[in-house]
């Protein structure tokens, strides 16, 4: 067995390294309690390690409640509510949805809280600086063009 796998490397990065880019995400007028962070890390395996944590997601009133939300990188970093000026999903290689770099994994909210980490070779940190991370009210359906029919933009943050 190998002494180190990419997953072990990623765990070490998350534990001991500051992010190479990050976005502080806040909710719109309908969801002012929603906030969180998305952090981006370079890895020795190419690609980008992404870690996201959110508080105050909707539908958190029932015990053991959970809901899925879309999360994407959008073209522009204009997070003026109601987040209508974020542009389309970030798509530097002109791919169909859900294969463009702006398509991120869905968030699974558990009583208003979500945490996730994933590795993505489509994201290059220099290319996302100044763009935005957007959380959508509905989960991405991974098929509707061009953006997955994920509904209202409920939170936004600029990647710095």
Which pLDDT does position 1 carry in this prediction? 44
Which pLDDT does position 3 carry in this prediction? 58
The residue ranges of every structural domain in the chain are 6-158
Which pLDDT does position 116 carry in this prediction? 98
Both tokens assigned to 6: 């990419």
For 6-158, CATH gives: 2.60.40.200
For 142-152, what is each residue's pLDDT tens digit? 888 877 778 89
Query: Residues 80, 70: contact at Cβ < 8 Å?
Result: no
Q: Encode 130-149: b = buried (16+ Cβ within 10 Å), e = exposed.
A: ebbbbbbbbbbeeeeeebbe
For 42-101, what is each residue's pLDDT tens digit? 999 999 999 999 999 997 666 655 689 999 999 999 999 999 999 999 999 998 888 889
For 93-127, what is each residue's pLDDT tens digit? 998 888 889 999 999 998 899 999 999 999 999 99
In this prediction the pTM is 0.93
For 14-30, what is each residue's pLDDT tens digit? 999 999 999 999 999 99
């Amino acid at each position: 067995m190998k002494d180190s796998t990419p997953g072990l490397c990623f765990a070490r990065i998350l534990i001991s390294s500051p992010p190479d880019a990050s976005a502080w995400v806040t909710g719109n007028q309908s969801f002012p309690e929603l906030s969180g962070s998305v952090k981006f890390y370079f890895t020795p395996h190419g690609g980008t390690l992404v870690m996201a944590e959110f508080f105050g997601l909707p539908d958190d009133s029932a015990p053991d409640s959970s809901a899925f939300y879309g999360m994407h990188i959008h073209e522009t970093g204009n997070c003026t509510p109601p987040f209508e000026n974020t542009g389309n999903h970030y798509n530097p290689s002109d791919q169909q949805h859900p294969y463009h770099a702006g398509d991120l994994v869905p968030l699974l909210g558990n009583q208003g809280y979500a945490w996730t980490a994933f590795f993505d070779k489509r994201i290059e940190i220099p290319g996302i600086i100044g763009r935005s991370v957007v959380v959508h009210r509905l989960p991405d359906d991974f098929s509707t063009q061009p953006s997955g029919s994920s509904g209202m933009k409920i939170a936004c943050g600029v990647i710095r």
